[in-house]
Amino acid sequence: MLKPKASKGRDGNLNEDKLKDGTATWSVVTLQRALRQAEDGLAHVSTYTIWQILKEAGYSWQKSRSWLKTGQAKRIRKGRLVIVTDPDTLAKKNS
């Protein structure tokens, strides 16, 4: 059975919590590698074939991106991830 593996985030910490709560994600390349390495997998499957099969099955995906509220941004400060807020967000939205 294929399972996503824990990965290291930008801060270098393992994201094992993503595996526990089901938010771990797969890229087409990650899926391809897993299929090629699995005992019962497909040793020569291409990313195009995977994409076609997923599309025909009704699945879709988009580029990875972090969604935050308007006026917020993720930044690294002193080695830690923080969310910063623009205090002028409402003024900018209304102008």
Average pLDDT value for residue range 57-77: 76
pLDDT at 90 > cutoff 60:
yes
Average pLDDT value for residue range 19-28: 62
pLDDT range class, residue 25, cuts 50, 70, 90: low
pLDDT in tens, 43-65: 899 999 988 998 888 877 666 66
Determine the pLDDT at residue 71.
84
User: Measuring CA to CA, which residue among 29, 28, 30 is closest to residue 5?
Assistant: 30
Query: What do you get for the CA distance between the two ends of the chain, in Å?
Result: 53
For residues 37 and 21, give the distance between their C-alpha atoms in angstroms, rounded to a whole number: 25
